[in-house]
């Protein structure tokens, strides 16, 4: 494994480690803020942080390339999170977790259709997908029954598709030769602009006093600076180093990290089937990342 590949794996791992723990911060913030408020706050914070870290403006972008940035902001920042949050109001978190985790498969198929010359889909990818989905299902539905909700489950499915589209767009943006921070910053800008109609439609009126609470502010900073500014950059780095397909399978790890965080932070206990689910998911990731992928 060369240095570039190791960097890609490290970037992807850092990303999912943070994304897998964001449920705790979101849960805390939901006591005072609505989902759209949290979404807007975190990406505005992320956008401002990226300007501070790398203040060079991105100039001379051709209109055709600008469309890619706009589409990435729509799919990866606005639609993905809105669809996921709305889905949670209709169906169970378990259903959403499992359905959204299907996104690596959509990403692989879309990548193959878009970039026909690279990232061949071999049996190891599909074998890893089956193992990972079996493990995620065991973790998500351990001790509970499966309840289907057509509206919520469809929204979660659309969220998974949106993330797959964003992942493919990220690869395309990486070919333009811009700095990763500049790319992420511009995507955030478009994502925030796409959110504004939803903000206006929902008549958002944030509880600004809540920002004076150190706990709420700390969790918001974690989402804005860590889960948004840092992780979207590292995800882009991983896609550039590993390719879209190999990076996307790291999404399988998010439920595992969420479960681990619930055990460590919330002191929850896991059933034997949940432990088996963790093992199968990790095995699925390993198989998907095999040399034949």
Each residue's pLDDT tens digit, 248-289: 888 888 878 877 776 776 666 667 777 787 788 788 878 876
Q: Which of 189-198, 223-232, 252-261 has the lowest mean pLDDT?
A: 252-261
Domains held by the chain: number = 1
Judge whether 247 lies within some domain.
yes
pLDDT at 107: 84
> In the structure, what pLDDT confidence band is assigned to residue 293 with cuts at 50, 70 and 90?
very low
The mean predicted confidence, pLDDT, of the chain is 83
> In the structure, what pLDDT confidence band is assigned to residue 32 with cuts at 50, 70 and 90?
confident
Residue 109 pLDDT > 50, yes or no? yes
Judge whether 248 lies within some domain.
yes
State the residue range of the domain holding 240. 3-288
Q: Stretch 154-159: mean pLDDT, rounded? A: 88
- Rounded CA gap, 42 and 47, in Å? 9
- Rounded CA gap, 29 and 62, in Å? 39
> In the structure, what pLDDT confidence band is assigned to residue 204 with cuts at 50, 70 and 90?
confident
Judge whether 293 lies within some domain.
no
- Rounded CA gap, 240 and 171, in Å? 7
| Burial label, 291 (beta-carbon count in 10 A; 0-12, 13-18, 19+) | exposed
Judge whether 137 lies within some domain.
yes
Residue 70 pLDDT > 70, yes or no? yes
Pull the structure tokens for residue 179. 């700095």
- Inter-CA distances, 30 with 33, 91, 128, 138, 212, Å: 5, 17, 35, 27, 15
- Rounded CA gap, 169 and 82, in Å? 19
pLDDT at 71: 96
Judge whether 98 lies within some domain.
yes
Q: Stretch 211-239: mean pLDDT, rounded? A: 92
pLDDT at 54: 94
């Amino acid at each position: 494994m060369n240095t570039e590949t190791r960097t890609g794996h490290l970037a992807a791992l850092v990303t999912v480690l943070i994304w897998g723990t964001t449920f705790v911060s979101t849960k805390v913030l939901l006591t005072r803020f609505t989902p759209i408020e949290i979404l807007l706050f975190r990406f505005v914070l992320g956008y401002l942080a990226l300007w501070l870290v790398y203040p060079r403006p991105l100039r001379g972008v051709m209109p055709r390339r600008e469309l890619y940035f706009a589409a990435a902001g729509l799919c990866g920042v606005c639609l993905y999170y809105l669809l996921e949050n709305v889905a949670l109001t209709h169906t169970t978190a378990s259903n959403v977790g499992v359905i959204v985790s299907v996104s690596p498969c959509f990403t692989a198929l879309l990548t193959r259709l878009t970039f026909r010359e690279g990232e061949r889909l071999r049996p190891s990818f599909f074998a890893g997908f089956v193992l990972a989905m079996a493990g995620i299902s065991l973790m998500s539905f351990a001790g509970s029954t499966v309840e289907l909700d057509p509206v919520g489950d469809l929204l979660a499915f659309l969220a998974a598709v949106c993330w797959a589209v964003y992942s493919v767009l990220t690869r395309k943006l990486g070919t333009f030769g811009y700095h990763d921070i500049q790319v992420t910053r511009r995507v955030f800008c478009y994502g925030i602009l796409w959110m504004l109609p939803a903000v206006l439609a929902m008549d958002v009126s944030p509880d600004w006093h809540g920002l004076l609470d150190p706990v709420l502010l700390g969790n918001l900073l974690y989402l804005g600076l860590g889960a948004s500014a840092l992780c979207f950059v590292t995800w882009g780095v991983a896609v550039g180093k590993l390719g879209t397909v190999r990076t996307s399978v790291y999404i399988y790890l998010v439920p595992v990290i969420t479960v681990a965080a619930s055990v460590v932070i919330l002191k929850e206990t896991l059933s034997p089937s949940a432990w088996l689910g963790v093992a199968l998911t990790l095995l699925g990731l390993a198989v998907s990342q095999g040399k034949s992928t």
